[in-house]
Structure 1
């Protein structure tokens, strides 16, 4: 497994501009990186930095964020997706992240699920034509995202199976999953073909691995046994200067 630093937070202490963070990540020896929203970035400068360094982005978010579970926002979501696809192409056909949106009062779980499946099927058609991958990310509603609908990995994978498109996969964030008390092997066993990317951070605090309570050797051994050999996104808030933080993360993860 190779590491993919989240340069939304990492290298930010040294470089205000995202394009310079791309160069810094490449200079530090990383082949991959990721960030969040793109409308607040200089996309052309980022594209130039990616071409210059050969670094690849593992993911960016569909921007602006809109709800999958509220049909009133579906047209806006698909418009945001269309715009984000053009940005994805500029940046090397980067996978695009979608979160569910918030739970709607007075609406049943089945209605939420049906709305998500409906819009993801429509989004999958758009993504397939563009040759871009969509990744759905369950979050946690206990600490970081109160009232978020999709906080359960099993349900997220059920939705992906119902969508039935190879252009829609899961972004599994180990931090969010652990906050929700999920058992790693239980939720992913037999369903790794639906996982595109995995992100990590320690708990509590969402800081670099080695600062919290995670049993990292056990968690990484479990991922290996499940068959995951993709990138690990270092999506954490550093407690140390970037160089020291990344060194601590690498030592803790043994990667």
Structure 2
């Protein structure tokens, strides 16, 4: 089993560009990040510093989010955000460039919150167009786009695996792309009330990625009561072959104690 450290939520006591090396020092060979720049199109110097931090640490960047807007301010993606179409489209080329240079192949596109004054239908139509464009672009480097149910955001419309899979089916039917996959974050699914075990039984071989945190609290495995090991083991038994993303909140000094407990 390969773990990949989400270095946007873990190791946050350290500057962002130090975190790949901190993950390596903790014994990991892979990291993933939310979008690490303030805008959709960072400058060459910013890109170079980020990519150098990855390569100098000797870790693989297994996953990267598309720009999702102001995450601390409550934004949860630009995919369906009417009025910010150019920001998402401009971000696609940057994502592909990073993927080419670093060998990253999985890219998480957060759907976006429902907007006041814009119909859900208009947002969903835009989402289909944006997801199709993203999938077509990353396919050129052998990549996949991930679509994720999320908890804790009242206006975010994808809460269950079925919600995300319905969008994936819609994009496939509209544009003929087959490289959009479910990101199965067991924490988000569980706290949203989804039947995680049933989702695994039905879809594990087709998961694009798995992420974990325990509940309640979104802490490290063992801090809550979710059967994370059983869910991971069953997913692997059924054919999931990718890494397990560690996307939980835990102080750096105890972040990985559960692995040796």
Q: How big is the shift at 1:156?
A: 0.8
TM norm structure 2: 0.81
Report the counterpart of residue 152 of structure 1 in structure 2.
160
Retained in 1: the 8 A contact 2:211–2:244? yes
- 3-state SS of paired residue (1:204): coil
- 3-state SS of paired residue (1:60): strand
- 3-state SS of paired residue (1:101): coil
Give the Cα separation in 1 of the matches to 2:200 and 2:224: 23
1:39 aligns with 2:37: yes
TM norm structure 1: 0.82
The 1:132/1:220 distance shift into structure 2, 3 A limit, reads closer
1:202 aligns with 2:214: yes
- Per-residue CA distance 1:118-163 (angstroms, 9 max, x = gap): 32122222222354332122211xxx22211222211211222332
1:103 paired residue among 108, 111, 114:
114
Retained in 1: the 8 A contact 2:191–2:215? yes
Q: How big is the shift at 1:36?
A: 1.3
1:126 aligns with 2:137: yes
Counting matched residue pairs gives: 244
1:56 aligns with 2:68: no
Report the counterpart of residue 147 of structure 2 in structure 1.
136
Q: How big is the shift at 1:207?
A: 0.9
1:89 aligns with 2:100: yes
Q: What RMSD in Å do the two structures reach over aligned CA positions? A: 2.6
Give the Cα separation in 1 of the matches to 2:4 and 2:87: 30
Give the Cα separation in 2 of the matches to 1:58 and 1:232: 10
The 1:145/1:11 distance shift into structure 2, 3 A limit, reads same
